[in-house]
Structure 1
Amino acid sequence: MTLALATEVGYRGLTIEAVARRAGVGKHTIYRRWSSIADLLLDALSRVWVSDLDYHATGEVRADLREQFRRSSRALSTPPIGPIYRAVIAEAQSDPALRAALHERFLAVVEKRTLERIVLAQHSGELVDGVDLRVAAEVLAGTLYYRWLLTPYPVDEHVIDGIIDMFMDAYGAAPRPALDA
């Protein structure tokens, strides 16, 4: 209901009072649970989007990264998630508490799940061994967000493949030679 209303009126037009009216409750009912409209939107976004941040592990890291990045890009590019998430990020630039909540609830989750997936690939021999992949996980996830949030350029399959190709060129394990019988 909150996301539908935000889609109708936009982030700047959304108020606690409007949400309360739509829900048929008093505004104090809303304020008891959420201290601001941004907090309410973060909660609403997390209910519809956090499960989309999960990797569907198929056993091949390139395919898993590609599938995850395509899902995330679709979500970030379409209502209700895209415009609302962009507005919350803009608001977070002047609100340190919101910025911390945004990082904890979304960005850290994206980085953690990406790191978990590529570490799994490292353990299975798809990626080079003995390399700390934390920064690589930040770059993989961060590049999509940077392009989507701060540039006019699209995040399409060509871009996604380019990001993954650079990652695999840097961290992919060399193919194992075939064993002679």
Structure 2
Amino acid sequence: MAINLQKGQRISLEKSNGAKLQSVCVGINWGAIEKKALFGLSKTKEAVDLDASCALYNEQKQVLEVIYFGNLHSKNYAVKHSGDDRTGDVGGDDGLDNEVITIDFSGLDANVSYVAFVLNSFKGQDFGTIPFASIRIYEGTPSRVTEVFAKYDIAHESAFSGHVSMVMGVFYKKNGEWKFNAIGEPTKDKKLQETVNTVTQNYL
């Protein structure tokens, strides 16, 4: 598999040895915003609440389920969310993902044809104001990264400045095989529901 896909690239999830990739994680790591206090006496930290979410669609591009901080797993537990992180790393980058969504392709309902991942800034904090915010989509589990195949740096890529939502990527089923489309594009949306609607209209 290709590592660090560029935006718009598509790959098959079949591994080089012919085996099919089963478990994929989408991990988000970000930091709290550092603010200078009055008169430069000290610095304060402003909590940052980014939310990773996942929408499942059928072949007709109808939303079946949305997994997010208020609904931490799909009905059959094939998709799981690690839980809501409302602050980000306050003490600097610890290198660990603050939120992780895990998907087990073998456990997905047969009528699921698209799995879309989106990111929203819950309090409307501009991606460009966050000191660091990275996304990685990888084979493995939350505690074991086997191979990373897409990475985005939304805090330092100018395209994300001025935005509070984005589409990370879409897994889609074609001829019974799962493939991945690395999207990595900001949207003009403010809320999760709006972002899901944008995915439905433009990215499936």
TM-score (norm 1): 0.33
Q: Greater Rg, structure 1 or structure 2? A: 1
Higher strand share: 2
Higher relative CO (Cα under 8 Å, sequence separation at least 6) belongs to 2
Higher helix share: 1
TM-score (norm 2): 0.31
